[in-house]
Amino acid sequence: MIQTHIHHICIQTNTYAESKYFYTTVLGGIIHKETANFHTRAFNTWIAFTHFFIELQTGKNEQLLQSSKKDCEGITHFCFYVEDVSQAVKSILDSGYTHFQRKNNQIIYTVEGSLLAKLIAPEGTIIELRDCFEI
């Protein structure tokens, strides 16, 4: 078996400006490279995080992309490990971003002894924040 790590995930969006703002300003990613007019896409942008990248791109030829459903096959969310979920949520809320999924009307809740929170990116990607790496 090949031992490796995740290099990037690719997220397509109809809301490029909002998604770029979210992944950089709200979540703290750093634009590594932004390319306009990339293979018939308005933009293809690499956003760096500590251990991986998000490749954020628009549809080809100004195509309106279709949203996926929560109960679809394939990736349903991705997760950032954070040192302190409460502090991460406070930082996100302080940035003005408020689109969190709630469980029992709570933003932060416990699952199997670990605190977590889920927020929804402008293009609909669900992002989990978790303070424990144990599975």
Quote the pLDDT of residue 3. 63
DSSP β-ladder status, 126-130 and 78-81: parallel
Residue numbers in the chain where pLDDT is lower than 50: none
pTM: predicted TM-score of the whole model, two decimal places: 0.84
Q: What are the CB-based long-range contacts (under 8 Å, 24+) for 73-76?
A: 75/9, 76/126
Residues 124 and 83 reside in one and the same domain = yes
Query: Is there a domain that residue 54 lies in?
Result: yes
**Span 102-120, pLDDT tens digits:** 999 999 999 878 899 999 9
What three-state secondary structure class fits 32?
strand
How many folded domains does the chain comprise? 2
pLDDT of the residue at 135: 55
- 50 and 86 belong to one structural domain: no
Query: In angstroms, rounded to a whole number, what is the distance separating the alpha carbons of residues 30 and 48?
Result: 5
Q: Are residues 18 and 49 in the same domain?
A: yes
Report the CATH number at residue 51.
3.10.180.10
Output the pLDDT for position 116: 92
What range defines the domain where residue 87 resides?
A: 78-130
Query: Does a structural domain hold residue 71?
Result: no
The confidence score (pLDDT) of residue 11 equals 94
* Confidence at residue 49, expressed as pLDDT on a 0 to 100 scale: 95
Does 123 fall in a domain? yes
